[in-house]
Amino acid sequence: MGLLDKLFGIDNMLGDSDIAYDMLKDSKFAVISLAKAITSVTNPTLREFLEDQLFLAIKEHHKLADITMSKNWYKPFMAPESQVQEDFDATITL
């Protein structure tokens, strides 16, 4: 039994909500990166292309967020105290 097995147990497979969180994180990173790139580009054609990609990335991020909220995996409107309590309760069940 390895160290990770001792820490996280034998069943340490990623669930759907874990994958969705990872996708949300990557999606947010794409939006931020595109926005930064747009502010640095001087070529109007390239800037227009990046703006189109940014709007598409935002649209896709919203779709993904809506899916995760509908499955109750992502709760952006939860009070901070409730978020901390839910995370604490989840660690106890590990």
Ordered by start, the domain boundaries in the chain are: 14-92
How far is Cα 58 from Cα 22, in angstroms, rounded to an integer?
16
Tell me which long-range contacts 14-17 makes (C-beta under 8 A, separation of at least 24): 16/71, 16/73, 17/68, 17/71, 17/73
User: Taking the model in full, what pTM does it have?
Assistant: 0.70
* Between residues 67 and 94, the one the model is more confident about: 67
Q: What is the pLDDT of residues 10-56, one digit of tens each?
A: 666 678 888 898 999 999 999 999 999 999 999 999 999 999 999 99
Q: How confident is the model at residue 25, as a pLDDT?
A: 95
Is the separation of the CB atoms in 74 and 65 below 8 Å? yes
